[in-house]
Structure 1
């Protein structure tokens, strides 16, 4: 029957026909299945009949129209689906039926919820397809909407509650992600520095209220790679010969206490801060935080509390990546250990003089033997 154009089966099939039923009937134009269980219907049944123009699947226990999306029925003009069990209709299904001009969905148990909002809007606004008696379609679900008309459902509330909310949420998420990425890449260290300054401010305010005396004469800020020089050269002179009370992080920090609190307590609990500068020191994150805190105290209190001691000859241009240290070196004189190799006694005398000075800032006091 290669020339078959009309096929009608009413109350004959007990289940959906096999997918190859119409494999030789490519000229078929009208197909009617009525009073048949098509709940398991697949799109493959329609692939051999692309010229189909009229399809009637009434009283066929259909629950969904998704099979039409892959059926390739581009020539279909008439579609009757009355008295089935269709609750929700995906409006995109009809986009695969470009020639459809007549649609009958009467006597289906429609759901009056946002899941049908797109179909309701399509049924109202499309000008090509006539949805027969659409204004009489009655809602069956939910119970609160039972008996009301499908086209009377307020679809605007669905878009206001959903689409706008998702749009605003997505926009906010994108903006926050961009801000977080920008902050992490460009402002991370500024925020860390601001946080440390805030901690220092709180500590300073608390200390002024309590009137606490200084526990140490100087806090020594140094890198672990320079620890041997500190214990071998500095401690014997400053603690052993000159009698200063020094605070060293490996020796005097309180165990179990957060490191940043130990640093803050050490700097504000000492009259001075001695920074032992080397290339390892400049590359150390914790040493950077220590000199940040000491710098804040210097500029905030306007006191001569910072002593810079260079263990290595570091040209000024090499300090460019370390803008805070470069700024301090430009504004304050400092002591250079390499230049004092021939006169270590004079070097330690200058350190002693720096430790003996009072609160007034005196940037000329730290001049080394070569006048630097």
Structure 2
């Protein structure tokens, strides 16, 4: 948007060829082995401890000799190198002596770099014999005024760029031979000590057009008294495209005097960054620029003016009135707190105005009067909290309005423009005002209700909408019909909370009517399901991101038919259906939680045979279960022992037998114990004592760290501890047999809570959920319940034990979808109301925890076998 010129930017431009050479060297294995090398075209001898010019082939085009100890360069130092284009002799660690016609044997040399080499002796005829020299770099060489006063640069008819920055030059009295340098257009005197510059000094350049003239950080006119009338115009007869006067400590008075002195001289771009103009904030010792400061530049045809990085506090009336041709004005990084009426009066041609990084707090209707041609207005990083409704209404040609990183709470002032940037403000809701826009950016705000998204999708002409990092989570008060936006192409909704909205069953039509949408980002939205048909209307969608959610499965037909790129990484997919991905062009499925059993065999086969481009390395697609395959890449898993049809039949039969037997036994035992519970328990204990002679056998060593993970609400901790933990957990009493895990004691502080829950569920023989009224209101408890259910399905075992505590009626339990699904298929325990049943209940619960299920250990011809790792 804006061009900033400095010493370093010019050096970067000058070194573009060197950087390209460096890339070639980095890519060459030969050069990696030897930094001092020549291949016939490029000779690289940087940092090789040379004391003289090495011999190179006459076909060499680039000779790089920096960081050596070369002290003398004379004509005989080089053989005849007619093809040499670049010679780099900068940064020598020895003081350099350059003799007469030192480079005559390099007749076609284009770039000569001597920068940062301390030149002790420079012969006046040192550069003779270089008719094609285009660029000469002499920055930071310790050169004095003599290099300009004498004829060092005569006969360099092709010289276009001359860099004499950071030397010891104090006067710019140029030798008459500069008149002969017809190609010279770029001169840099920055970082010297040039206190004055008068008309007679640059006389050899009169009648010339220079693309760049650098006087940055020279203390020009700021350290000495200047007789402006006697000095007269130093730029007389010189046409400048860019004049860099940055970092010279200029006040408004100095700039006014300079402008008056050079009036009439043509300057297209004037750079005055890092000035000291302005009163700043809290002091008044230096004045802000006023109408007279730039008045004398009326005939200079200034197109770009850079006044950034200063202390301007107030923009005074008619400040830039005479700059009729100005197109770009940069006032960023000042202390601007006040814009007076008519401050921009007269800037009829201004197209770009940068007021970012200032101290503006309010904007009024009159602030931008006089800007009929403004197209880009940058107001980011201020403290703007209030903007009057008609502040931007008169800017008829405004195309881009940048108000990011402010404190706005409403958008009632928004005009109809192509691009509106409102990120990082304090917007919590949007008034439904009428305007048009092509691009809207509203990331990092506080929008919560999806009614605002419905409103934005109805804005005419909208093609790009960015709403990342908001709080979209509510569907209340949504009274809009689905959008019929036929222009929207890209929609970014990352890092919101759409799961909270969609789980209510509302706003499932939010994407309906977006028939031209091509890119959709829904990553980091806590999604654990996709509403049915949510993408049905997205017939043009090509790229979809569902990364970093909680999806465990994708239903058939849930993805758009024309989708080409899908990012579903960092979810919790167990066994995805490869048929969903066969039509894609690219897929990212890394960092999911794959369960590596025979159900995954189809996906593993597809993964190794597909033509779909897969993002990430094979190591990023790994098993999470079983523990024997934890971290193993799916690409290294063999499926030859898995028969899909046999596995399905075995799974169905096993589930049928397991559920039938378990349910029957559980019902019979429950009836007997309920009817004769006292007698049954007494008999059971008596038999147990007779068989084991009063000694309880220690449980056999297990692969699990804990016998059971007890999941309960933190509000039930005291009851759970007294009623259960003290009677079951071995750490409470040596007489207890069980190793229990519960949050208050065994979760790792500072660890991700989901990771703690997952480790507890998968690291325990059983999971015991104490379902109470507090449990049903605790989101983490419900999340642990879901993980335990997932393990039941994967292990084909009853590893989840539900204990209902208190007088919870059935309908309250059935209100929760997760628990309802469990209760419809499995039995659960209730804490006994009668105290006589407590001991029996605890014993029964211990037995349920220690009981080894037979489902996974049965030896059968049709039993599922764990997928093994390829050796």
Higher gyration radius (CA): 1
Higher RCO (C-alpha under 8 Å, 6+ residues apart)? 1
Measured against the shorter chain, the TM-score band is 0.3 to 0.5
Q: What TM-score do you get using the length of structure 1 for normalisation?
A: 0.48
Q: As a proportion of its length, which structure holds more helix?
A: 1
Q: What TM-score do you get using the length of structure 2 for normalisation?
A: 0.22
